[in-house]
Amino acid sequence: MKRWGKYGLAALALVHGGAMAGLADPAIGAVPSAMVPDVLSLLVEISINGKVSDDLVGLDLVSSECTRIETAPLVEAGVYSGGAKTACLESISGLEYRLDQKAARIDVYAAAPPPPRRIGFQPENLARPVSGIVGGYGLSAQRVDVGGEDVINGFGDLSLTLHTPQGRIQNDMIAV
């Protein structure tokens, strides 16, 4: 079998459908049973372990015990190591699949997850705690005219924070 691009599916369906329609009996509109192949061939989109491939893959539904598939995408995904160009999915140990003929899609899953990959983690870059005292203050005043009378508000804030390696102690004083 050959790998097809996404436009290859439409072209193949047009050619194949046109050829089969030309063989149809005009009286009943059906293809004679002698002309229908025993093996159903499909071009489907393939997803292996949740990753969708960019190419279409050819399938042959040979029987209920054999769904023959091109092995190139399986080799690329690392779930098949044989040398055959095609293989029955049922004969490949550790694989499960779900075929949706209406959506032209096959999902292939490995029964065991792939081996873990080594991933390097970045250590957190946090500043070391430093002992000391941090002080802050704030002053605020406002004057509001309320119909001929002026109202003046004032606000002051003073804060001291003692930082220690074990934590911090904070003391706030607010004056109004």
The top-scoring range by mean pLDDT among 11-15, 92-96, 122-126 is: 92-96
* Residue 140 pLDDT exceeds 70: yes
pLDDT in tens, 93-121: 888 889 998 888 999 988 766 566 677 77
pLDDT band at 37 (very low <50, low <70, confident <90, very high): low
Where does CATH 3.10.20 sit in the chain? Answer: 6-19+33-110
Q: What is the mean pLDDT of residues 37-45?
A: 82
Is domain 6-19+33-110 classified as CATH 3.10.20?
Answer: yes
* Residue 20 pLDDT exceeds 60: no
pTM: 0.45
Rounded distance between C-alpha atoms, residue 79 and residue 95, angstroms: 8
pLDDT band at 64 (very low <50, low <70, confident <90, very high): confident
Mean pLDDT computed over every residue of the chain: 75
